């Protein structure tokens, strides 16, 4: 028996990581796919036509495949190897073909459609009725009602898109892994100790002295603190060039083909363009609604960013350097200005924000809000850096939580939350295994910036959405919600990092144990909206480019289209997109956030309003508000329409004003 498919006699049903070898995955996928095909054929061709015999049977038909994929795809993103990358390339068309076989199965589609047409007489629970609706929607949007040449072409297009998404992601990882810059002794000495430690560690991985790499946790602080403008430019331009260096890892052609195929896919399904197709099931519904939100935010953000740029350029000139302010100058002079205006020095702040301290903070908040308890457990896990906790409440097991926090060459950049196993009740209670992955610079101890701590809380908000899920059907559990709703729990949880009592209790110096001085804490919180013009502009520019990529006829030259969109927006010279096209993994490493990068901001409109619900009670941990949050948002998954769930929690839908206030942009609006 393949270890990935045999019963796992492990604590909490965790995968037996120590026994799993790369060569086990290929055979396990082949067998799991065969079993899934057989189970689905039995549903389609058998006599059963009831909701239980069709929809509930489909829910359980891919159990083995879900199990194998849950392990493999987590490892492929967080700890890649050449063998895993090769298998990922091989699996992309196979998994796409399997998906198309399911949704193109006319006998199966006929049974689902018959259930839908006769739904009034089925006596379904509200949750079951929602699942039926979503299954029908999924099949329709996958082309189930199509036949003949158009159906065959749609299958071909989806298969090619799966291949391109994998290639884009692997090209980007290859570029990030390949580049580094040695630090001369004088330039190394000019950096704060925590940056020196990260650069030394990165160099040791490459058997050389201190280096700067393209990992965000190292290159961003280098750009903040290096006084050498020429080195900043060299590092920044290498960072900006990821995926656009020519040769086999160049993503520009991948992006162009992806956009053309997405447009064709939408056209085959009868939509005007891919944005219209993609946004139909989301809260925003239409591209115009997204543009309206983004432009409401863009105008004040741009005004604030231009005002900030003038101040930073004056600082540059005062240093005897020639204007204009460039993209590789912004973070350096913004850090100097933050120190001058708010007396905040990140090198002094970070010793109070160790990873262990901030983990304690995120767990403490979850305990106060939802009664959760976290007990650290032993591995082995899939990498020595990974830590694990059992999550309980009132003695009841709720989840296993894994944290993989440190940057390494085998891990793709960014931060994310995923589940090796999702929650469901159908077929017996199944509790989730949830994973948070970050890319913090490894140190002894690991010290976080305030932005790093915010990222930690953000991803844990996603984890809570998974861990507190309490639905019958895995199809709608956890984060299986509208894309522009999924970021609400994560962005909302960031607010508890700003609660003074949380930092007072947990922000303690890693050597002395002393709490962060009260005046430093006050300055930190007062600077909460500092540099938000920059942060908002780089985000909205990326979201607008994503939206326009997928609206209308796709451009044959995405880089030219990107330039046109930015010019029309009046993009400030010294700020670039947060994710330029060749490295825009959210959009091109699969279509999860395609036409949907805006969703972070759509959710932010709600998260600012949702935290206000706590503030209005005078208690950021108000039990009644926390109970409503869990009941209607965190435990509900996709059991109801996202807007309906939010209305049950808050009683009204918010406007953009709460977001602008939270980012300190109201005065510029």
Tokens read off for 96: 């796409």
| Residue 46: Cβ within 10 Å count | 13
Is 205 known to be catalytic? Answer: no
Tokens read off for 408: 């390494």
Tokens read off for 65: 């495949």
β-pair type (396-406, 387-393) = antiparallel
| Residue 407: Cβ within 10 Å count | 21
Q: Beta partners for 376?
A: 389
Q: Are 633 and 644 in contact (CB under 8 A)?
A: no
Tokens read off for 349: 């702040």
Residue with tokens 């059907």: 473
Catalytic residue among 459, 494, 538, 548: 459
* Interatomic CA distance for residues 215 and 579, integer angstroms: 14
Give the side-chain half-sphere CA count within 13 A for 13: 17
* Interatomic CA distance for residues 192 and 407, integer angstroms: 19
Q: Phi-psi category of 397—alpha, beta or left, where left has phi over 0 and alpha has psi -120 to 50?
A: beta
Tokens read off for 431: 């509790």
Q: Which residues contact 375 (CB under 8 A, 6 or more apart)?
A: 389, 390, 392
H/E/C letters for each residue in 358-384? HHHHHHHHHHHHHCCEEEEECCCCCCC
Alpha helix positions (H), 142-273? 148-178, 185-189, 193-205, 216-225, 229-240, 252-268
Q: Are 24 and 81 in contact (CB under 8 A)?
A: no
Alpha helix positions (H), 118-192? 126-141, 148-178, 185-189
492: closest CA among 654, 403, 609, 661? 609
Residues noted as catalytic: 459
């Amino acid at each position: 028996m393949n270890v990935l498919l045999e019963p796992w006699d492990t604590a909490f049903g965790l995968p037996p990581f120590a026994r799993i070898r790369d060569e086990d995955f290929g055979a396990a996928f082949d067998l799991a796919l065969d079993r899934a095909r057989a189970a689905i054929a039995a549903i389609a061709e058998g006599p059963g036509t009831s909701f239980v015999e069709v929809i509930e049977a489909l829910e359980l038909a891919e159990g083995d495949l879900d199990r194998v994929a849950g392990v493999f795809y987590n490892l492929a993103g967080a700890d890649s190897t050449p063998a895993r990358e090769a298998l990922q390339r091989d699996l992309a068309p196979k998994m796409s073909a399997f998906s198309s076989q399911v949704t193109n199965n006319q006998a199966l589609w006929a049974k689902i459609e018959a259930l839908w047409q006769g739904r009034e007489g089925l006596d379904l629970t509200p949750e079951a009725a929602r699942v039926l609706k979503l299954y029908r929607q999924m099949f329709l949007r996958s082309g189930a009602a199509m036949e003949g040449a158009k159906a065959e072409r749609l299958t071909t297009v989806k298969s090619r898109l799966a291949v391109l998404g994998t290639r884009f992601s692997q090209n980007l990882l290859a570029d990030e892994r390949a580049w580094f810059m040695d630090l001369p002794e004088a330039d190394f000495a000019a950096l704060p100790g925590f940056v020196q430690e990260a650069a030394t560690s990165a160099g040791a991985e490459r058997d050389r002295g201190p280096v700067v790499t393209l990992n965000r946790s190292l290159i961003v602080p280098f750009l903040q603190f290096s006084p050498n403008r020429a080195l900043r430019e060299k590092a920044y331009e290498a960072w900006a060039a990821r995926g656009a260096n020519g040769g086999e890892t160049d993503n520009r052609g991948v992006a162009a083909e992806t956009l053309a195929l997405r447009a064709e896919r939408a056209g085959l399904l009868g939509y005007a363009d891919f944005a219209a197709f993609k946004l139909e099931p989301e809260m925003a519904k239409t591209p115009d609604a997204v543009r309206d939100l983004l432009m409401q935010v863009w105008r004040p953000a741009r005004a604030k960013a231009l005002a900030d740029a003038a101040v930073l350029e004056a600082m540059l000139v005062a240093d005897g350097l020639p204007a204009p302010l460039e993209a590789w100058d912004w973070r350096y002079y913004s850090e100097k200005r933050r120190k001058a205006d708010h007396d905040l020095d990140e090198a002094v702040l970070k010793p109070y924000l160790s990873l262990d301290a901030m983990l304690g903070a995120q767990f403490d908040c979850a305990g106060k809000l939802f009664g959760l308890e976290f007990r650290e457990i032993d591995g082995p896990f899939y990498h020595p850096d990974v830590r694990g906790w059992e999550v309980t409440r009132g003695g009841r097991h709720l989840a296993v939580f894994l944290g993989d926090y440190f940057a390494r060459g085998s891990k793709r950049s960014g931060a994310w939350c995923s589940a090796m196993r999702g929650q469901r009740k159908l077929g017996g209670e199944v509790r989730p295994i949830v994973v948070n992955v970050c890319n913090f610079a490894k140190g002894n101890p690991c010290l976080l910036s305030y932005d790093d701590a915010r990222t930690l809380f953000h991803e844990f908000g996603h984890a809570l959405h998974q861990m507190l899920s309490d639905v019958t059907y895995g199809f709608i559990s956890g984060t299986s919600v509208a894309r522009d709703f999924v970021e609400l729990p994560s962005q909302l949880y960031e607010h508890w990092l700003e609660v003074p009592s949380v930092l007072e209790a947990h922000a303690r110096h890693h050597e002395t144990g002393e709490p962060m001085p009260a005046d430093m804490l006050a300055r930190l919180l007062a600077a909460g909206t500092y540099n938000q013009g920059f942060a908002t502009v780089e985000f909205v520019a990326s979201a607008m480019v994503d939206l326009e990529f997928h609206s209308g006829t796709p451009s044959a030259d995405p880089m030219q289209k990107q330039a046109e969109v930015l010019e029309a927006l009046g993009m400030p010279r010294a700020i670039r997109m947060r994710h330029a096209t060749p490295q825009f993994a959210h959009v091109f490493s699969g279509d999860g956030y395609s036409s949907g990068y805006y969703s972070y901001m759509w959710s932010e409109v709600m998260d600012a309003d949702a935290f206000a619900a706590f503030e209005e009670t005078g208690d950021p941990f108000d039990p009644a508000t926390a109970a409503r949050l869990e009941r209607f948002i965190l435990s509900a998954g996709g059991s109801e329409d996202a807007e309906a769930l939010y209305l049950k929690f808050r009683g009204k839908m918010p406007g953009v004003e709460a977001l602008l206030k939270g980012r300190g942009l109201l005065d510029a609006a």
